[in-house]
Structure 1
Amino acid sequence: MSASPETSYTPRRSVLYMPSSNARALEKAKTIAVDALILDLEDAVAPDDKPAAREAACAAVTSGKYGDKELTIRVNGIGTRWHEEDLAAAAKAGPAGIVVPKVGSADEVRSLVAAMEAAGAPERTRLWAMVETPAAIFSAREIAQASPRLEAFVLGTNDLVKELQAQHVPGREPLLTSLQLALLAGREAGIAVLDGVYNDVKDAEGFAAECVQGRDMGFDGKTLIHPGQVEACNATFAPDEAAVEDARGVLQAWQDGAGSGVVTYQGRLVEQLHVDIAERVLATHEAIVARG
Structure 2
Amino acid sequence: MTRSARRTRRTLQATGAGAAALLALAACSSSDSASSDSAAGSGSSSPAAPQLSGTVTVFAAASLKESFTTLGKDFEKAHPGTKVTFSFGGSDTLAASITGGAPADVFAAASPKTMAIVTDKKDTAAAPVTFVRNQLEIATLPGNPDKVASLKDLTRSGLKVVLCDKTVPCGAAAQKALQASSLKLTPVSYEQDVKSALTKVELKEADAAVVYKTDVKAAGDKVEGVEFPESAQAVNDYPIALLKDAPNAAAAKAFIALVRSAEGRRVLTDAGFLKP
**Same fold (TM > 0.5):** no
Please report the TM-score for the alignment, with normalisation by the length of structure 1.
0.26
Name which structure has the greater RCO, CA cutoff 8 Å, separation 6+.
2
Please report the TM-score for the alignment, with normalisation by the length of structure 2.
0.27
In our comparison, the structure showing a higher alpha carbon Rg is 2
